[in-house]
Amino acid sequence: MTVRTAPDIGSVQGILRLGNAYCEAQALLTAVELGLFTALHKAPGTERDIRDRLALDGRGLRDFLALLTGLGLLEEEGGRYRNAEGAGRHLVSGMPGYVGGSLLGAKANLYPLWNGLTETLRTGRPRAEAGGFDAMLDDPVELRRYVRMMEGALRPLVPELLKAVDWPAHRSVLDVGGCAGDLVGRLVADHPALTGHVFDLPQMEAPFDERMATLGLSGRTVFHAGDFFRDPLPRADVLVFGHVLHNWSPGRREILMRKAFEAVNPGGVLLVHDRMLTEGGADVDGLVASLIMALVTEEGAEYGVGELTALAEAAGFTSMSCRPLAENETLVLCQKG
């Protein structure tokens, strides 16, 4: 079966297909939610095998599997389905490259909000309910889903972050908004002389403790509960703002950059990564991410490297450099003299 490519928006068919692209996205999200790719990782299966393994009714299953095959997520031969290479790497739960947690979080939390984009553009108000984030963190089920979503978003970036600086030259790292400590855990595991710290809201402490215990890193990492607008940041040689600054207005980003400068030890470095906007370009991934911020936050938006480097210079950092962190992610390094 021929794998479909991006729509040709110069044709009416392409425009209609783009307008219905949510159907294809929902097919992927549903397959992840059902655990289809994880089930097929154990062994390829026929339509009947898949129906039985996933306890499905069967209606629509043949077309569902054919659609996933047409999208390049599955491969079919002689009536038996198996994961395509990309799905096998990134959509099988428990595998190192698994990003399903991010997709499931998007399905539960972000997907419904996009239907409200019209209203957000008219009013400037987000679609997420006021106080909804705090309520989510106080719900154990939703908190776990959120942690998995953050883990899935971070996982593709970790290999490059592990090479971002000369880690053996530093003794401490602080991940601000570091959630359950996935990045800090990897850094400390790879560099035993490094002490890892995470600063996040109090609700994240239990997931952090659980994750560190699972990794065998309890005692080598420290969780600091607080609010980074009210409380001082712990000092460290390397400080990380990952997917943090895009949640806030330019004025609040300025406050956080100044607090980061105070927290970074002399000779240390601040790492900032986000889906930063390409200045003067039609950056589809960055613009989608920025609209997500409009839908879920009171004042957040993506920003360009120029804005960030200006804030870093005003805060006191002596030199800045940037590099791609992933296909749609940018890393800026801010050095403190």
Residue carrying the six token digits 């994750």 = 211
Say if residues 37 and 87 touch (Cβ distance below 8 Å).
yes
Say if residues 118 and 74 touch (Cβ distance below 8 Å).
no
For the ranges 209-218, 253-262, 277-286, the one whose mean pLDDT is highest: 253-262
Residue carrying the six token digits 């549903």 = 30
Residue 14: count other Cβ atoms within 10 Å of its Cβ.
13
Q: Where in the chain is the domain with CATH 3.40.50.150?
A: 156-279+298-335
| pLDDT surpassing 80 at residue 190 | yes
Residue bearing the bigger pLDDT, 162 or 6: 162
pLDDT digits 0-9 by tens, 64-95: 999 999 999 999 999 999 999 999 999 999 99
pLDDT given at position 4: 57
pLDDT given at position 281: 61
pLDDT given at position 61: 97
Say if residues 334 and 323 touch (Cβ distance below 8 Å).
no
| pLDDT surpassing 80 at residue 149 | yes
pLDDT given at position 314: 97
Residue carrying the six token digits 């991006």 = 6
| pLDDT surpassing 70 at residue 166 | yes
pLDDT given at position 118: 95
Q: Name, in order, each residue with C-beta under 8 angstroms of 8's C-beta and a sequence gap of 6 or more.
A: 14
What is the signed CA dihedral for 326, 332, 336, 337, rounded to 10 degrees?
A: 100
| pLDDT surpassing 90 at residue 60 | yes
SS (H, E, C) the chain: CCCCCCCCCCCHHHHHHHHCHHHHHHHHHHHHHHCHHHHHHHCCEEHHHHHHHHCCCCCCHHHHHHHHHHCCCEEEECCEEEECHHHHHHCCCCCCCCCHHHHHHHHHHHHHHHHHHHHHHHHCCCCCCCCHHHHHHCCHHHHHHHHHHHHHHHHHHHHHHCCCCCHHHCCEEEEECCCCCHHHHHHHHHCCCCEEEEEECHHHHHHHHHHHHHHCCECCEEEEECCCCCCCCCCEEEEEEECCHHHCCHHHHHHHHHHHHHHEEEEEEEEEEECCECCCCCCHHHHHHHHHHHHHCCCCCCCEHHHHHHHHHHHCCCEEEEEEEECCEEEEEEECC
298 falls in which pLDDT band (50, 70, 90)?
Answer: very high
Mean pLDDT over 171-182 rounds to 96
Q: Name, in order, each residue with C-beta under 8 angstroms of 209's C-beta and a sequence gap of 6 or more.
A: 218, 223
| pLDDT surpassing 90 at residue 257 | yes
pLDDT given at position 148: 87
Tokens of 99: 């990003």
pLDDT given at position 110: 87
Partners of 333 in the β-ladder: 271, 321
pLDDT given at position 264: 98
pLDDT given at position 293: 93
- Distance, CA of 322 to CA of 42 (rounded, Å): 41
| pLDDT surpassing 70 at residue 2 | no
pLDDT given at position 3: 55
pLDDT given at position 192: 92
Mean pLDDT over 189-205 rounds to 95
pLDDT given at position 18: 86
Show which residues are catalytic: 246
Q: Where in the chain is the domain with CATH 1.10.10.10?
A: 12-90
| pLDDT surpassing 90 at residue 46 | yes
Q: What's the whole-number average pLDDT of the chain?
A: 92
CATH class of residue range 12-90: mainly alpha
CA angle 229, 291, 139 (to 5 degrees): 55
Mean pLDDT over 4-8 rounds to 66
CA angle 26, 153, 274 (to 5 degrees): 115
pLDDT digits 0-9 by tens, 129-140: 777 788 888 899
pLDDT given at position 145: 86
CATH number of the structural domain 156-279+298-335: 3.40.50.150
